[in-house]
Amino acid sequence: MLAPKDLLDALSGHASRLFSGDTPLPRNEIESQFKALLQSGFSKLDLVSREEFDSQMVVLARTRARLESLEAKVAELEARLTPASAE
């Protein structure tokens, strides 16, 4: 995996070569080359898709809810034990 600065430097170098050509490229050609350039850069990063991120957020929310429920049960059990221990 490239460091963010290295990745940005590489993308910047490729983009400047793309846009500084002697012969002007048609707009759609520039767009397709720039899109390919960005996809190449993003593939070098450790990214997840939006769908994967959203599904992991659902799992995290469910886990947090279960944890809070378990914490409440533990607190309830501890409260029951405390008066019994004091006797």
C-alpha distances in Å from residue 86, one per residue of 44, 77, 79, 82: 61, 15, 11, 6
CB 33, CB 18: distance < 8 Å: yes
pLDDT at 5: 75
Mean pLDDT score of the chain? 81
pLDDT at 8: 74
CA count, 13 A, side-chain hemisphere, 6: 5
Residue 76: pLDDT band (50, 70, 90) is: very high
50-69 pLDDT, tens digit each: 999 999 999 999 999 999 99
33-54 pLDDT, tens digit each: 778 877 887 777 778 889 999 9
